[in-house]
Chains A and B, each alone.
Chain A
Amino acid sequence: MASQTSHSHEHHIVPTSTYLLTLILLVLLMLATVWAASFNLPAIGPFSGTVVNQMVALIIATAKALLVIMVFMGVRWSSTLAKLWVASGFVTLILLFGILGDYTTRHYEHQHGWEARPDGSLPRSTPDEEVVPPINANDLNVKIRQ
C-alpha cells in the first residue's frame, strides 16, 4: 500500500467540478454552433457571408477541440515533451492544408483526359492573361479556372 500512496502526488487528479464545467461548456458551444448556422451571416470585408458562416462554425469547433484536448485529454497538466507530440500531428495538418495556397494561385487546370494527349503537359511559365490575348484553352489542354 505504501507504494500506492507514495506516488499519488506524481499525477495530477483533476476535480470532478472541472470536468463537469468542461462538459457544460462543450454542450453550450454545440448549441451555439447550431444556433449560428440558422442565420445567413453578413459578409465581412473580403469574406462572403458563406465564408463568415463557415469560419464561425470552425472557430467554435476549434474551441471545443481545445477544451477536449486541454482538459479531458489532460494536456494542460502534461509534460513539455508530451505537448510537443500533441502539436506535431496538428502542425503536419497545417502544412498539408498549405497545399491549398498553391492550388488557389494557379490560373489554369488540366482538361479532362489531358494525360492521354502527347501535348498534355503545360509549360512552366504560363502566359499572364492580362498581357497576352486569351489563349485557346483547347489548344493548351487546360482550362481557365472559373
Chain B
Amino acid sequence: MSAITNTSDHGHDSALHHQFEDIGQQNDSYIVGMWVFLSTEVMFFGALFFIYTLYRWNYQLDFYIAHEHLDVKLGAINTSVLLFSSFTMVMAVQSAQLKRRLHVIGYLLTTIVCACTFLVIKYFEYSSKIADHLYPGAGFATDAHAAFGAHAFEAGKLAVNMNHAQLFYALYFGMTGLHAVHIIAGILVILALIRLWVIRAKSVTLDYIPTEMVGLYWHFVDLVWIFLFPLFYLMPKPH
C-alpha cells in the first residue's frame, strides 16, 4: 500500500507503474511474462532434443563412435564456466536488489568474461571438428581413420555408417550452434544492461527487475547446456 502513496508523491522516481496495484504485483507480472517467453524457448530446444532422441535411439552405435571425437575435458570445463557465470549473474541480481551499483557492474562483467571464455573454448572445439571434415555435407569425414581412430574399423572395414555419423554432427552443430547463438545474444543483452547501470539509468537503479529478467534468460542458456553436455559428451558405450 505504501508503494501506491509513494507514486502519487513522486511518481517519476518510483519503480511502480500506474497500472499495477503494488510493486509485488508488478514484479510478478514481469516474471510471469519472462517465463512465458522461456516456455517457448523450452519448446524450441525441446523439439531439437526430441530429434536427437529419435536418431540416437535408432543409430546407437554409430552415434557412440561419432561422439568419441568430442573432448569430455573441454565439455566439462565449459560446463563449469557456464555454471560459474550463472552464479555471478545471480549475484548481480542480488546486488541490484541491494542497490550496490558497482557490484552489479562487476558481476555482470565477470559474467561476460565467462561467456566469452565459453565461446573461445567452443571455437577450438569446432575448429578440430572442421579440421577432420566432421561437418555435414559432401566430403564428410573423408579421412575416417583420422576422424574416428582405429576402433571405428572392424577387420579393416569401416564399422560406422557415415550417414548416421553425419546425422550426429548435424545435430551437434545444430544444437550447440543454436545454444552458442543464445550465448552471443546474452552477451549483447548483458552489455546493454551494463550500459544502463553505468549511466545510472533510473529504469535499472530504482527497479531490480530488468537485471532479474536478463538473469532469467542467462540461467536458461545455462539450463540448455546442462542437458547438452551429458547427451553429446558423455554418451555411454553400448553394452
Contacts and interface: CB of A to CB of B under 8 A. Distances in A.
Contact of A34 (B32, B39, B42, B72): B72
B117 to A, nearest CB: 16
B239 A93 contact: no
A96 interface: yes
B54 A60 contact: no
B236 A13 contact: no
Interface string A20-58: 101100110011011001001100000011100110011
A100 B238 contact: no
A27 B46 contact: no
Interface residues of A, number: 57
Given A19-B90, A26-B83, A68-B222, A97 B50 contact: yes
B6 A61 contact: no
Contacts of B49: 93
Interface string A87-107: 011101100110110010000
Contacts of A81: 28, 32
B116 interface: no
A69 B13 CA distance: 32
B6 A2 contact: yes
Nearest to A145: B58
Q: Helix, strand, loop or mixed for chain B's interface?
A: helix
Interface string A67-85: 0110111100011011001
A33 B230 contact: yes
A30 B75 CA distance: 10
A65 B227 contact: yes
Contacts of A136: none
Contacts of A54: 236
B76 A65 contact: no
A64 to B, nearest CB: 5
A130 to B, nearest CB: 24
B2 A7 contact: yes
Contacts of A72: 86-87, 89-90, 215, 219, 222
A96 B10 contact: no
B43 interface: yes
A93 B43 contact: yes
A11 B94 CA distance: 11
B6 A3 contact: yes
Given A11-B208, A72-B90, A34 B28 contact: no
B43 to A, nearest CB: 5
A76 B198 CA distance: 31
Contact of A37 (B7, B10, B40, B234): B234
Interface of B: 2-3, 6-7, 9-10, 13-16, 22-24, 27-28, 31-32, 35-36, 38-43, 46-47, 49-50, 53-54, 57, 60, 72, 76, 79-80, 83-84, 86-87, 89-91, 94, 97-99, 206, 208, 212, 215-216, 219-220, 222-223, 226-227, 229-231, 234, 236-239
Given A50-B236, A50-B239, 5 more contacts: A3-B6, A3-B16, A30-B80, A57-B231, A57-B234
